[in-house]
């Protein structure tokens, strides 16, 4: 920036101005070919130890040198220079060396000096310039502070992009910028080339008035890969001071936009005499309040006033693109709700459009989170309204109260519809997950029993620990949802419906994740009572043979017998009258694929009958007073789909 000002002060035409920034790297690390370094990435480059900036500006004249020595100098106040920029150099660099040639009268002089935090200006020399010298200045920024060096950009292209973004105002202003080049060993980058590469279309200037103060706007479209966000750039004294992202401020503005020339990122550069006056000395922000209220609201300008006015003009500049994105956003939300999240359909019309301003390319996960947040807000408002209505029940109802009550009840009805839709949608998801779980993976392997088990119900839990909405027993039989006590993967001696716990039962009490039963005891009304055992096997397991460890039907019946021998009670520990031991009917469900070895056990050894669809077996075993049903995983999925199809159809959920 100082170089640009020096060129202007010298009266050099912009097109003749020259600025060169040279990157100084640590030579102790050895010479590294720049082409190789690009392939190996920024970490392969030598450390940056400093920079050299050269220009053909006016140089360090006596007046400029006096200003440099003066803290808070106002020598270049008309250019927005606050006289403290040179102090910021010393935060990042240990010292600065300056060699400057300037004209005084008809002669050229050369001034050299060192500037550091320890000694201020030192080693100053001022003498006649060597023959052949030309007006200009070399500023060496030496010994880059490690704290800053670690986080600075490393590659010349990234540094060139940063300089361009910081100086962009000078490129888009009338008159343009001088030639600025970046040199890194053998590589030279012209910022004019960076400008050509980044500029998507010509800058569009306009002037607006905010409370009678003029503000100049320049609407810019950039192709810059380094600029990923649309922004408002607030400038002062022809310099970028701070930026604000436009995301969330402009409905329909998401990601990069596209026009006939391809993708672009939008920025609006804002400048005015008002901003010049309010800029902080170090130009890191503005001394402007966010908003102005009260008596001064019509005359004083707040940052929100500027922001809102700029956003409106940006909206006009991008109207076509925003409208297209808003339409795509609506379609995205509508399709997602219709096919994947119908629980939000009843409240969709109650969510403000501004709150559904989502990126058309948003993931289903993020869209679900957005809708859930709005749903939670809706529920919170409903609770608040409910309390307000209840607080008025002591007074006779009037028309206003009736209107509030009707509005509240209508919203409550939508919530209930949403809850029902959520319940049905959950079933759709569980069926899909279950169907996926029983498929073999890319390596040809099938999942273990514990995953199948967990999809139906959490393991190592009982009724006291499990809310019923977390159980998916409906996959097997809807009636299993109604029970007196339920235990999943719990030792028999720990469950209250039986006193079983003798030394012969450790194998059943301590079960591994491959053969864990789900036990359900129905019957809070006494009698009757029943016990259901669900035994789950690994998909496509084909090692069934005689013995409790290898035959899941025998295993389920054995669990049933051991529970009976312990004396069946209610979950509160009360005996069940006249229905003790073998008299308590049992239902054994076995979930397993019908592999050859298991089918043989079903038909020959247990004398079970095949179901009409050929995907299961069933039968009653008199000797143990138990009904046994073998359900293949495919049959389980198909039956669950058939039982719930009417609900899915009503919600518009796909069949699969």
Looking at the domain that runs over 2-190, which CATH code has it been given? 3.30.565.10
Dump pLDDT digits (tens) for 13-63: 988 999 999 999 987 654 444 444 444 455 567 889 999 999 999 999 999
553 DSSP assignment: H
Residue 363 to residues 380, 571, 622, Cα–Cα distance (Å): 26, 46, 56
Q: 619 falls in which pLDDT band (50, 70, 90)?
A: very high
Q: Which two tokens stand for residue 279?
A: 């800029």
Q: 497 falls in which pLDDT band (50, 70, 90)?
A: low
Give the CA-trace dihedral at 539, 544, 549, 554, to 10 degrees. Answer: 100
What does the alpha-carbon distance between residue 141 and residue 89 come to, in Å, rounded to a whole number? 8
Q: 388 falls in which pLDDT band (50, 70, 90)?
A: confident
623 DSSP assignment: G
CB 114 within 8 A of CB 123: yes
**For a pLDDT cut of 90, what percent of the chain falls above it?**
28
What does the alpha-carbon distance between residue 275 and residue 324 come to, in Å, rounded to a whole number? 34
What does the alpha-carbon distance between residue 238 and residue 76 come to, in Å, rounded to a whole number? 13
Task: Write down the pLDDT at residue 324.
Answer: 87
Q: Cis peptide before 630, with omega less than 30 degrees from 0? A: no
Q: Which two tokens stand for residue 137?
A: 């200045």
Strands 262-271 and 257-259: antiparallel
What does the alpha-carbon distance between residue 422 and residue 647 come to, in Å, rounded to a whole number? 11
Q: Is pLDDT of 655 > 60?
A: no
What does the alpha-carbon distance between residue 553 and residue 555 come to, in Å, rounded to a whole number? 5
Dump pLDDT digits (tens) for 261-310: 788 889 899 999 999 889 887 677 899 998 888 878 888 999 999 999 99
* Three-state DSSP class for residue 521: strand
Q: Which two tokens stand for residue 151?
A: 């986080």
Dump pLDDT digits (tens) for 556-577: 888 888 877 776 665 566 665 5
Strands 48-55 and 18-25: antiparallel
Task: Write down the pLDDT at residue 495.
Answer: 66
Q: Is pLDDT of 513 > 70?
A: no
Can you give the pTM of this predicted structure? 0.52
- Burial profile 331-351: b = 16 or more Cβ within 10 angstroms, e = fewer: ebbeebbeebbbbbbbbbeeb
**Average pLDDT over every residue of 73-81:** 49
Dump pLDDT digits (tens) for 133-171: 999 999 999 999 998 988 888 899 989 988 887 788 788
466 vs 515, more confident: 466
Task: Write down the pLDDT at residue 133.
Answer: 92
């Amino acid at each position: 920036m100082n170089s640009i000002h020096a060129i202007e002060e010298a009266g050099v035409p912009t097109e003749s101005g020259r600025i060169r920034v040279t990157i100084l790297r640590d030579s102790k690390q050895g010479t590294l070919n720049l082409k190789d370094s690009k392939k190996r990435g920024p970490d392969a480059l030598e450390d940056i130890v400093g920079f050299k900036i050269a220009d053909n500006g006016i140089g360090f004249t006596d007046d400029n040198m006096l200003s440099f020595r003066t803290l808070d100098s106002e020598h270049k106040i008309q250019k927005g220079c606050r006289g403290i920029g040179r102090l910021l150099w010393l935060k990042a660099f240990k010292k600065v060396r300056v060699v400057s040639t300037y004209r005084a009268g008809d002669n050229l002089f050369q001034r050299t000096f060192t500037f550091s935090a320890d000694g201020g200006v030192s080693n100053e020399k001022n003498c006649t310039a060597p023959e052949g010298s030309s007006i200009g200045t070399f500023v060496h920024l030496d010994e880059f502070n490690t704290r800053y060096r670690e986080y600075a950009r490393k590659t010349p292209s990234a540094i060139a992009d940063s300089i361009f973004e910081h100086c962009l105002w000078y490129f888009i202003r009338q008159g343009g910028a001088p030639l600025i080049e970046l040199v890194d060993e053998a590589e030279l980058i012209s910022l004019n080339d960076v400008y050509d590469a980044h500029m998507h279309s010509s800058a569009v200037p306009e002037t607006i008035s905010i409370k009678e103060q003029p503000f100049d706007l320049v609407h810019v479209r950039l192709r810059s890969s380094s600029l990923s966000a649309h922004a408002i750039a607030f400038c002062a004294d022809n310099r970028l001071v701070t930026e604000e992202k436009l995301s969330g401020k402009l409905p329909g503005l998401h990601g990069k936009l596209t026009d006939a020339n391809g993708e672009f990122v939008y920025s609006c550069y804002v400048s005015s005499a008002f901003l010049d006056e309010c800029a902080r000395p170090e130009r890191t922000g503005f001394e402007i309040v966010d908003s102005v209220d009260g008596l001064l609201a019509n005359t004083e300008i707040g940052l929100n006033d500027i922001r809102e006015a700029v956003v409106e003009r940006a909206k006009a500049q991008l109207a076509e693109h925003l409208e297209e994105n808003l339409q795509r956003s609506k379609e995205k939300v509508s399709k997602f709700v219709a096919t994947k999240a119908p629980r939000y359909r009843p409240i969709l019309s109650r969510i403000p459009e501004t709150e559904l301003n989502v990126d058309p390319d948003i993931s289903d996960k993020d869209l679900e989170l957005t809708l859930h947040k709005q749903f939670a807000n809706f529920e919170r408002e409903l609770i608040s309204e409910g309390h307000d209505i209840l607080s008025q029940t002591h007074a006779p109802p009037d028309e206003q109260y009736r209107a509030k009550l009707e509005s509240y009840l209508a919203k409550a009805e939508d919530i209930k519809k949403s809850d029902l839709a959520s319940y049905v949608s959950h079933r759709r998801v569980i069926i899909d997950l279950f169907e996926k779980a029983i498929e073999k993976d890319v390596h040809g392997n099938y999942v273990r029993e514990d995953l199948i088990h967990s999809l139906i119900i959490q393991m190592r839990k009982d009724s006291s620990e499990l809310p019923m909405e977390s159980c998916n027993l409906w996959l097997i039989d809807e009636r299993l949802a109604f029970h007196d006590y339920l235990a999943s993967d719990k030792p028999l001696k720990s469950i209250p419906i039986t006193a079983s716990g003798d030394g012969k039962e450790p194998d059943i009490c301590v079960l591994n994740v491959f053969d864990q039963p789900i036990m359900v005891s129905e019957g809070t009304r006494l009698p009757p009572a029943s016990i259901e055992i669900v035994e789950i096997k690994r998909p496509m397991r084909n090692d069934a043979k005689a013995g409790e460890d290898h035959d899941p039907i025998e295993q389920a019946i054995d669990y049933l017998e051991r529970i009976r021998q312990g004396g069946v009670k209610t979950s509160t520990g009360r005996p069940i009258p006249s229905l003790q031991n073998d008299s308590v009917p049992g239902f054994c469900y076995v979930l397993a694929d019908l592999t050859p070895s298991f089918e043989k056990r079903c038909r020959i050894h247990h004398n079970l009958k095949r179901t009409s669809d050929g995907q299961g077996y069933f039968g009653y075993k008199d000797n143990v007073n138990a009904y046994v049903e073998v359900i293949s995983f495919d049959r389980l999925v198909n039956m669950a789909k058939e039982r719930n199809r009417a609900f899915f159809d009503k919600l518009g959920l796909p069949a699969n």
